[in-house]
A = this chain, B = another copy of it.
Amino acid sequence: MEHIKIFKGDIIFTERPEVFTTYKDGFVVVKNGTILAVYKDIPESYKGLPVENHRDKLIIPGLVDLHVHGPQFDQVGLGMDKELIDWLNIYTFQLESKFKDVEYAKEVYTRFVEALVKGGTTRVCIYATIHKQSTELLYDLLIHKGIGAYVGKVNMDQNGGINLQEDTLESIENTEALIKKYKNHSMVKPIITPRFAPNCTTALLKALGDLAAKYNIPVQSHLSENKKEVEWVKELFSDCSSYGDVYNKYGLFGQKPTLMAHGIYLVEEEIEMLRNQEVTIVHCPDSNMNLASGIMPTRRWLNEGINIGLGSDVGGGHLLSMTQTMVRAIQNSKVLQSITGEKSLSTSEAFYMATKGGGSFFGKVGSFEKGYVFDALIIDDEKWTKERLTIQERLNRFIYTGDDRNIISRYCNGFYIK
């Protein structure tokens, strides 16, 4: 029994999107980082083992951010006066070009990783930049920190401007080198990351699809975020029947586990491919509002059977907080409700997206069911709250009004994160 850890507290999680599962003064029993069971009362066989007692605190799954740009942490809250393509060209590509300088990258990435973990994110899918050395540094910072991550060296060999564009071959070589270096790491792994279709030649897309297949590596990119972007893709890839088809043609659309950020303006063909090829859409509501991209019809995509996770999308989004991202997802769906009558997201649905839903990209992550790894946050809410409210109401209040100050401990894969 020596590898068993028992955590006691007010436990809440979502097995299904529709409903919260709660245990007042419950116990999570963890063996070698994996959950054996959750109990209302501790069974006889475990009695006598030490218990980490988080009395009156909430114990919730660690939060999963499926879409964030590490370098753009340097521009949060800035340059919010443009829509996507101008925002990229005028602000973002200028910023990212600075990450050629490893010292610059180190300063930003160090702050980024600290803030990410402080905010309660324990699993994350990150876009770095095109730069190999800076990206290695980000891998190493995350490994040192102990959270779970997919990190993509960004690939872009066209339309990046003179400072943020790679030679096609160099792009492929650097990507493969990073894959070889990190593919066997248990917690921080590579992900194929064509920035978005307009930034990639067909030669590059084909090579990236081949790398994904060769090394069995997942894929992430952007899809149908902005109307002008969709038009541009149509012009650039006139032989493809849709934006999604560009990726699909090159083995980058569900042939390996795939994340596609945004997916606001999807056509029927894409919806079918997303469902049938089990591509996860990452909803980034703050970013969609900040860049005036539009509102993702979340309920419609859910009804279509598409898996949806949540992303902060810093720097299009301005906050790393996944709780505020949940709130914004709910708010976005309520704006649609006020226009179309479509049923908005419930808190449990948004919470599911940022825990078990998004966590599924990492394996058995994001729930406290048997067999899941123990990723968890300990939440200290205000004294008066505990006395008056149910566990579910307390979680609601934390989601809507809490911040990193309420998170007093973080665990990933069973380990305490310092």
Residues of A near any B CB (own CB < 8 A): 76-78, 80-81, 107, 111, 286, 289-295, 318-319, 327, 330-332, 334-335, 337-339, 344, 346-347, 384, 389, 393, 396-401, 403
Within 8 Å by CB of A289, from B76, B77, B78, B334, lies B334
Interchain CA distance A347-B396 in the complex, whole Å: 30
Given contacts A78-B393, A327-B318, contact A293 B401 (CB under 8 A): no
Give chain B residues whose Cβ lies under 8 Å from the Cβ of A111: 384
Closest CB pairs A-B (n = 6): A77-B400, A289-B331, A292-B334, A77-B397, A318-B400, A294-B338
Say how far A116's CB is from chain B's closest CB, in angstroms.
14
**CB-nearest residue of chain B to A81:** B346
Which of these, B337, B384, B397, contacts A292 with CB under 8 Å? B337
For A286, give the chain B residue with the smallest CB separation. B331
Which residues of chain B are within 8 angstroms of A346 by Cβ–Cβ distance?
81
Q: Is the interface of A mostly helix, strand, loop or mixed?
A: helix
Query: Which of A331, A396, A399 is most buried by chain B, counting CB atoms within 10 A of its CB?
Result: A331
Known: A77-B396, A77-B401, A289-B334. 6 other contacts (CB 8 A): A78-B393, A78-B397, A292-B334, A292-B335, A294-B338, A403-B403
CB within 8 Å for A344 and B292 given contacts A318-B327, A335-B335, A384-B107: yes
Distance in Å from the Cβ of A129 to the closest Cβ of chain B?
Answer: 18
B80 touches A330 (CB 8 A): yes
Task: Give the Cβ gap from A289 to chain B, nearest Cβ, in Å.
Answer: 4
Across-interface contacts of A397 in B (CB, < 8 A):
76-78
Question: Given the complex of chains A and B, what is the CA–CA distance between A200 and B84 in angstroms?
Answer: 48
Give bound CA distance, A319 to B323, whole Å.
13
A399: chain B residues within 8 A (beta carbon): 77
Instruction: Report the minimal beta-carbon distance from A17 to chain B, rounded to whole angstroms.
Output: 14
Q: Chain B residues near A335: list those with CB within 8 A.
A: 289, 292, 294-295, 335
